[in-house]
Structure 1
């Protein structure tokens, strides 16, 4: 009996993996509109923002880690705090292009990832994105440096895994697109917070010390990247959201 149960689970897992590699149908505009509105509410409503903002921090810190590893640095660990701050530790030279690229990757990363989620999700690969996201989160969990970080990643792993396993094509696409919108908007909100902060230990201040380029120029560069991501978001979502609006208009 137990063997048959495990066999069914294995067969279901293999079938789900194969299905993830197959392009899905077009997104349901109704679900897509609901997901985008939910993303907007999560960024705009204070109580919802406090409950969800850690996702932006996770992506921010993941950006530091991935770019650091790509540049030859060693990923040691990372931490996410309840106030949306975080810390990623990579080992390597204290100065140089690798350190600069690693430090610069944080603030633009939520917007870049958000636009990428919407683009790939709307092109039929939402389930594959969920699977890849789950694997990245699982790899990050090994390097978590605090109980809150472990809890945050555990919740994300559970939510992403459940959606990948049980969600339908239309729901997966809508949730992935909504998460992308949330990350782009949340990236802007995080950038505005650091823009107002006088703390020299923030990434723009650290970059100014590493490069002698003023922190204002680094902030402008981050804004330029986020603006490009936002433009792509509008291009991708304009038509389906317009169709959803027309469908509910009298």
Structure 2
């Protein structure tokens, strides 16, 4: 166990500054381009639904399962009081989960704990797999987990560092775009049952307030993640 823990918590030296900058640019293109975003958006949905599920467990709601769909949508089914703090926190967690996971991953990358990051992602995917209730969701989690395992096992250190930076920036940038898309749909009255509108019905605040809150958390996470990862690569201590 000591050897395993030592392997998981081993640190790598920070890569050259260009590695993080190229990874950030690549992630921005993946999220920003119309060709790549529909293909990669499902990964953000995994984090989104995982956020709902984690909040439900922490607030002691009964978690019935998670479904991930081929159109990159998803749903987390819970049972309990239809209102109250538990339901509010569960609905609140989805849109901010990718950004907060990206921020936590940025902290690990900045500390050089690339191996720990990959295995934490694998643990997250495995826990979600236990909760999946449809075939497509199970397949996409297995494929994603297999890809992460291959990266953690077979890539050299330099490749792992680039992959880790790319994953972090993808979570950070990918956490912002769905919120912008949500507000566009709300303006067209195409998302009457969105998380923001459910929260509006659960509380006294309007749905627009929750969209603003989601966007505030996601943009702050991008800024904090950049502060954590880019400054050390440039030789400036982040803490």
TM-score by length of 1: 0.85
- The structural deviation recorded for 1:65 is 0.4
Structure 1 or 2: more helix by fraction? 1
User: Does residue 161 of structure 1 match 2:149?
Assistant: yes
Select 2:84's aligned residue among 70, 83, 96: 96
1:228 is matched with 220
1:209 is matched with 201
* Contact 1:115/1:181 (8 A) holds in 2: no
| Unaligned segments of structure 1, at least 5 residues | 1-12, 244-250
* Contact 1:127/1:164 (8 A) holds in 2: yes
Q: Residues 206-228 of structure 1, C-alpha deviation per residue, up to 9 Å, x if partnerless?
A: 00011121001111111111121
Q: Residues 128-157 of structure 1, C-alpha deviation per residue, up to 9 Å, x if partnerless?
A: 111111012112112212222112101111
User: Does residue 128 of structure 1 match 2:116?
Assistant: yes
Match of 1:106, SS state, is helix
Q: Which moved more, 1:164-173 or 1:88-97?
A: 164-173
CA distance in 2, matches of 1:18, 1:97: 40
2:50 is matched with 62
Q: Which moved more, 1:168-177 or 1:152-161?
A: 168-177
User: Does residue 106 of structure 1 match 2:106?
Assistant: no
Moved over 4 A (4+): 13-17, 240-243
- The structural deviation recorded for 1:232 is 0.6
Match of 1:78, SS state, is strand
* Contact 1:33/1:241 (8 A) holds in 2: no
CA distance in 1, matches of 2:168, 2:154: 20
| Unaligned segments of structure 2, at least 5 residues | none
CA distance in 1, matches of 2:24, 2:126: 26
User: Does residue 219 of structure 1 match 2:206?
Assistant: no
CA distance in 2, matches of 1:167, 1:14: 24
Number of aligned positions between the proteins: 231
CA distance in 2, matches of 1:18, 1:165: 16
